[in-house]
Amino acid sequence: MAATAPAAVPAKTTSPVAPELLERIEGALKAHFGFSHFQPGQEDVIARVMTGHDTLAILATGAGKSLCYQLPALLLDGTTVVVSPLIALMKDQLDMLAERGIHAVAALNSTIGEDQEAVLLERIARGETKIVLVTPEKLEDERFVALLKCITVPLFVVDEAHCISAWGHDFRPAYLALGAVIASLGRPTVLALTATATPAVREDILIQLGIPNAKIVVKGFDRPNLQYEVIRAESEAAKMKCLKELFSNDGLPGTGIIYTATIKNALEVQKFLHEQLDLPAAVYHSKLHKQERVSVHNLFMNESIRAVVATNAFGLGIDKPNIRFVMHYDLPGSVEAYTQEAGRAGRDGNRSRCILLYRMSDTRVQNYFLTGKYPDIEDVQKVFGTLEYFGGQQDGVSLADLRKISQLPLTKLKVVLALLKKASFIETRSRARYGLTADALKNRELVLNLTNYETKKSYDQSKLAMMLQYAETRSCRRRFILNYFGEDFETLNCGACDNCLRAAKTAARPAPLAAPAVNGFRIADIVSHPKFGQGTVERAEKDLVTVLFPNVGYKTLLASAVNREAKIA
């Protein structure tokens, strides 16, 4: 998908961090958070932010990403703006900071009433808040952005930054406006944070946010204490049998999470655990009422149950270090999604199991999700036609009316609106009300060609194919994951995945490394293919290479089918 990138920003000059600053940072860590030392990557990121350097930090799930902006926000003059996609995550942040006696914090999202919002906005305007947590949708409100322009914003934080990339596994259309917001605020220091970003996603994040020269800090995709396993099952009955065997004889001690692709499966698995295995388990999904969600959360945190059976609605912001297992009952849609969810296990550093129950037909569910995800030309025409027809309304057309008239799913409608707004073809005339701009009427053909999602669709289908490769690989699963995220892994046998454990047990020779001696290619090599064009090597093993091509996504090919591109001096 083509995207209009914000203007490039000149690289900020880097300089060694002064001892006085490091002493100040370490003092704040102890005084405000009670910690005596940083986790890997945290101090580097914080020091860069404190000296005004744009940074993209890719830190493993559970590596303490929130501290990377909370600590600088308390030390910097002004109000730090933090964009977060999940309301539940905001609440967890507020509660955690309050426990530490930090109350100069505000969260603006759809759950607060107008009166409460007015009070918070007044506090922000008076400069009484150090941290403002907002959803990306809130930054589409031009009045709120105007308020931020009137105060000092030293740091702009984008949490779950992969959401801004069309190539990320959880694309959120409202994130597309963030580059323009950053520019309108006078380009404060930008910190983007995520746990899952491939090299292609990293590059796209920097372009979309207008920080192409930012340093990328990568720490800890490798989680040595996580044991990766895949169990193949031919039917739903076989999966249930696997569950029974796994929970027998303390094979899965402690508490954990079982992820399913659908609410239906979550309910069925929870019923099986309760009725057939007599195991206390609760179900969690997006359609539960708030009180029910809170109840399940508390049962899990207090270890009153053995497992939460959940859709992907559960997990982000769960601060429980001793999750002993994460099981996927259904195939996830991408390696990114799988890694993020599995990574919630074992944050205390102790051995934990990450188990995937795999059935080939599971791909049908994920392909169904992909089918209805992206807008096509007819969807754009519906939205454009509705806005044009009601163009005489001075205050624009409401989101509710657009949805009713276009009959589009809300997510798809928001994608179309976000792209139209980013291209300056629509404007927000009042809260959640939209109208066409003069440019839109002059460039009708350009508008209707705006949302060609065929490339994105192919890309996501290829990511599902990579998830299938992970499920079926006979070599080291840890190496597969690390290679996917652009990291080499030179150990012959990781000793903590089912394939490597099986190889060691049978004294079989470990799978060969992805080394130049095998096929001449390494991760990040630029290659070309006569049909797919130029791409980047993501994996290399035996006589095969997996290459990421911008127009078609991931392709696994014979090494002889691609040619190495000459590096530009």
Range name among 271-285, 325-339, 529-543 with the lowest pLDDT average: 529-543
Q: Which of 150, 172, 151, 155 is nearest to 163 (CA)?
A: 172
Count: domains in the chain: 4
* Separation CA 71–CA 47 (nearest Å): 10
130 neighbors 152 (Cβ within 8 angstroms): no
Tell me whether residue 483 is in a domain: no
Same domain, 391 and 251: no
Q: pTM of the full predicted structure?
A: 0.77
Same domain, 327 and 301: yes
- Residue 284 three-state SS: strand
Q: How confident is the model at residue 569 (pLDDT cuts 50, 70, 90)?
A: very low
Share of the chain above pLDDT 90, in %: 41
Q: How confident is the model at residue 16 (pLDDT cuts 50, 70, 90)?
A: low
Range name among 151-165, 260-274, 311-325 with the lowest pLDDT average: 311-325
Q: What is the pLDDT of residue 3?
A: 37
Same domain, 307 and 164: no
Quote the longest CA-to-CA distance of the chain.
Answer: 77
* Separation CA 540–CA 360 (nearest Å): 24
Q: How confident is the model at residue 70 (pLDDT cuts 50, 70, 90)?
A: very high
Q: What angle do CA 378, 380, 383 make, to 5 degrees?
A: 110
Write down the H helix ranges in 100-235.
114-125, 142-149, 178-184, 199-209
Domain of 386, in residue numbers: 375-452
Say how many Å lie between the first and final Cα of the chain, rounded: 29
Going by their DSSP bridges, the two strands 256-259 and 307-310 should be labelled as parallel
The continuous run of DSSP H or E covering 548 comes out as strand 544-549
Domain end, chosen from 192, 219, 246, is at 219
Q: How confident is the model at residue 449 (pLDDT cuts 50, 70, 90)?
A: low
Same domain, 274 and 383: no
pLDDT reading at 514 higher than 60: no
Mean of the per-residue pLDDT values for the chain? Answer: 85
Which of 266-275, 291-300, 357-366: highest mean pLDDT?
A: 266-275
Tell me whether residue 352 is in a domain: yes
56 neighbors 202 (Cβ within 8 angstroms): yes
Same domain, 119 and 31: yes
Same domain, 534 and 427: no
Arithmetic mean of pLDDT, 337-364? 90
Q: What is the pLDDT of residue 9?
A: 38
CA dihedral 553, 557, 561, 562 (to 10 degrees): 50
88 neighbors 111 (Cβ within 8 angstroms): no
Q: What is the pLDDT of residue 391?
A: 75
Arithmetic mean of pLDDT, 114-132? 93
CATH of the domain at 550: 2.30.30
Same domain, 96 and 239: no
| Assigned token pair, 394 | 């001075």
- Residue 539 three-state SS: strand
- DSSP track, 323-351: --EEEESS--S-HHHHHHHHTTS-TTSS-
- DSSP track, 32-83: HH--SSPPTTHHHHHHHHHTT--EEEEE-TTS-TTHHHHHHHHHSSS-EEEE
Q: What is the pLDDT of residue 109?
A: 83
Question: Residues 182-223: pLDDT tens digits?
Answer: 999 999 999 999 988 888 888 889 999 999 999 999 886 788
Same domain, 419 and 467: no
Same domain, 318 and 267: yes
Tell me whether residue 122 is in a domain: yes
Same domain, 93 and 151: yes
Q: How confident is the model at residue 41 (pLDDT cuts 50, 70, 90)?
A: confident
* Separation CA 435–CA 399 (nearest Å): 11
Q: What is the pLDDT of residue 491?
A: 82
* Separation CA 234–CA 358 (nearest Å): 8
Task: Compare 334 and 13 and report the one with higher pLDDT.
Answer: 334
Same domain, 150 and 60: yes
User: Which neighbouring-strand residues pair with 537?
Assistant: 547
* Separation CA 411–CA 451 (nearest Å): 14
- CA-only gyration radius of the chain, Å: 24
pLDDT reading at 250 higher than 80: no
* Separation CA 335–CA 484 (nearest Å): 8
Q: Count of CB atoms within 10 A of residue 517's CB?
A: 7
Q: What is the pLDDT of residue 272?
A: 96
Tell me whether residue 399 is in a domain: yes
Same domain, 28 and 85: yes
Dihedral of CA 302/305/306/312: which sign? Answer: negative
